[in-house]
Structure 1
Amino acid sequence: MQQHDVVRHHATPLGNPAYPPVNPRFTDREYLNIVYRTDYDALRAVVPEPLEIDEPLVRFEVMRMGDVSGYGPYTESGQAIPVRYEGERGEYLHAMYLDNFPATVSGREASAYPKTAGSPALYVDHGALVGVLDHGSVRVATATMGYKHHELDPEEAAAQITVPTYLLKLVPGYDGAPQVAQLVRTRITDVVVKGAWTGPARLQLCAHALAPMADLPVREIVSASHLLTDLTLAPVTPVHDYLAH
């Protein structure tokens, strides 16, 4: 392989890249969202400057991907924190756990999503929508919501998931020092809301050293939603370079 051939490849292994060279389209992406109030000091300890916090809120999510071009079906769970950056309201993605290796690797390498391995699930059980997250054999989170109790306005539903999203892109150099340290911005585009509902909800987070969701404890449930959508993820754009400051 000649030198100019190397840069034509997007990922390793060269003969079998860890993820495909596609901008995935999500079809039948189903959400369970629970917004809850937590401790302000706990949020401030994990949200990086220059992002600002108004209220101590967290959005816990479990997402079942019905079909994703290039990746197939998988499930994902995580925590997103409402923030402001230069006056713009959005969310900071704090942690994401999923059961698909190519989607994990591409999310980290090609973008900046804080993805790692986990075993989430989303299903209906005796009239309740249930979202769970396990780390190995240990339960980390259990979320429940009344199944389709009340319809939610589609525009309100789309607004919940299309706010700008901020992520940390951290890449170490070979000496261990940071080679890339950026705050980046993206958002969801081309959204089609196929269904949206709300209802009573509860959320339990269990302490785990390698999945520390419970470090942002649940103090009060603020809202909940169940969404079925089609959507696309836009590429990330750097907005703040920590190495330049």
Structure 2
Amino acid sequence: MKAAEVARRLATPLTAPAWAPVRSRFTDREYLNVVYRTDPEALRAVVPEPLEFDEPLVRFEVMKMGDSTSFGPYTESGQVIPVRFGEERGEYLHAMYLDNVAATVAGREASAYPKTAGSPRLFAEAGALVGTLDVGTQRVATATMGYKHYPMDLDEARAELTLPTYMLKIVPGYEREPRMCELVRTRITDITVKAAWTGPARLQLFQHVLAPLADLPVLEIVSASHIITDLTLDGVRPVFDYLKER
């Protein structure tokens, strides 16, 4: 294979890349979102400058992908933190756990999603919508919400999901120094909210050294939503270069 051809490749392994170089469209993506109040000092320790937060809130989410271009169905879970970048309000993706290798690798390599391996589930049981996250055989999180208790305004649901999203893009060098360390911005586009509900919810987080969701403890449940959508993820652009600032 000629050098010019190698230079055009976007992913490894060279002849069998782990992800397809296409933009994914998600169909029937189902969300369970639980927003809770946490310890502000714990939150301050993990939100990177220049992002700031006004209230010590965290959104625990479980997302069941009914179908997605190139990845197929899978499930994802994580923590999202409402933040400000200057005057713009958005969300910082703190951690994501999922059960699809291609989506994990593509999220990290082609973008900056903080994805790693986990076993999330989203299902209805005994009148509740249940979202769980396991790492290996260990339970890390359990969320429950009253199943379709109250209709949610679709515009409100759309606004909840389409805030600008901030992530850290960190690429290590070969001498244990970063080659790239940037804050990047993206957002959800081309979204169709098919249905949405709200209701009472509970959330339990369990201590795990490699999945430290419980480091942002649950002090009070603020709100919950169950949303079904079709959507596309936009590309990313850098908004802050930590290496230049250093």
Asked if Structure 1 and Structure 2 have the same fold, meaning a TM-score greater than 0.5 normalized by the shorter chain, the answer is yes
Residue of structure 2 in register with 1:31 after alignment: 31
**1:36 maps to amino acid:** Y
Residue of structure 2 in register with 1:168 after alignment: 168
Cα deviation, residue 149, structure 1: 0.3
Residue of structure 1 in register with 2:218 after alignment: 218
Aligned residues: 245
Normalised TM-score (structure 2): 0.99
Deviation digits for residues 3-24 of structure 1 (CA, Å, limit 9, x no counterpart) = 1111222111111101011100
Identity across matched positions, percent: 71
**1:11 maps to amino acid:** A
In structure 2, stretches of 5+ residues that fail to align are none
**1:107 is aligned to 2:107:** yes
Q: Measure, in 2, the Cα distance between the counterparts of 1:157 and 1:60.
A: 16
**2:101 maps to amino acid:** F
Residue of structure 2 in register with 1:46 after alignment: 46
Greater Cα offset, 216-225 or 3-12: 3-12
Q: Measure, in 2, the Cα distance between the counterparts of 1:190 and 1:238.
A: 21
Task: Give runs of ≥4 in structure 1 deviating > 2 Å.
Answer: none
Residue of structure 2 in register with 1:197 after alignment: 197
Residue of structure 2 in register with 1:206 after alignment: 206
Deviation digits for residues 100-154 of structure 1 (CA, Å, limit 9, x no counterpart) = 0000000000000000000000000011000000000000000000000000000
Residue of structure 2 in register with 1:134 after alignment: 134
- Give the RMSD, CA atoms, in angstroms: 0.4
Q: Measure, in 2, the Cα distance between the counterparts of 1:3 and 1:99.
A: 34
**1:31 maps to amino acid:** Y
Q: Measure, in 1, the Cα distance between the counterparts of 2:237 and 2:158.
A: 22
In structure 1, stretches of 5+ residues that fail to align are none
**1:4 maps to amino acid:** A
Aligned to 1:36, the other structure's residue is in SS state strand
Aligned to 1:179, the other structure's residue is in SS state strand
Residue of structure 1 in register with 2:120 after alignment: 120
